[in-house]
C-alpha cells in the first residue's frame, strides 16, 4: 500500500465498490493499493474497508503521492 492525499475537492461523491458514497475534504490521506495501472487505482478512504476504483487520469487530478 502507498499513501496519497486529496488535493482537489468538488461536490461529486466518490463511489466505493459496494455502492457507498463518500466525499472527504482536501487533505484527507488515503491508502492506495499498488500504483496507477490501465484499469485505474484502488483507493481506500479512512474508515471504509471497501475501495473505490478511480480512473488513472482522475487520480492524477485529485490526489498526490505522499512518498
Per-residue confidence (pLDDT) for residue 11, from 0 to 100: 81
Give the CA distances from residue 63 to residues 13, 52, 58, 59, 67, in Å, rounded to whole numbers and listed in that order.
Answer: 14, 13, 8, 6, 12
Write down the pTM of the prediction: 0.85
Per-residue confidence (pLDDT) for residue 24, from 0 to 100: 93
User: Cell digits for 11?
Assistant: 461536490
Is the torsion defined by CA of 49, 8, 35, 16 positive or negative?
positive
Per-residue confidence (pLDDT) for residue 6, from 0 to 100: 96
How confident is the model over 26-60, as pLDDT tens digits?
Answer: 999 999 987 666 678 999 999 999 999 998 889 99
Q: How far apart are CA 21 and CA 23, in angstroms?
A: 7
Q: Centre a 10 Å sphere on the Cβ of residue 30 and count the other Cβ atoms it contains.
A: 23
Domain-wise residue ranges, the chain: 2-65
Amino acid at each position: 500500500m502507498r499513501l496519497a492525499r486529496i488535493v482537489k475537492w468538488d461536490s461529486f461523491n466518490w463511489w466505493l465498490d459496494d455502492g457507498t458514497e463518500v466525499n472527504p475534504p482536501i487533505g484527507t490521506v488515503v491508502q492506495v493499493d499498488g500504483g496507477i495501472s490501465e484499469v485505474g487505482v484502488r483507493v481506500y478512504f479512512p474508515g471504509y474497508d471497501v475501495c473505490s476504483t478511480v480512473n488513472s487520469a482522475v487520480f492524477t487530478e485529485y490526489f498526490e503521492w505522499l512518498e
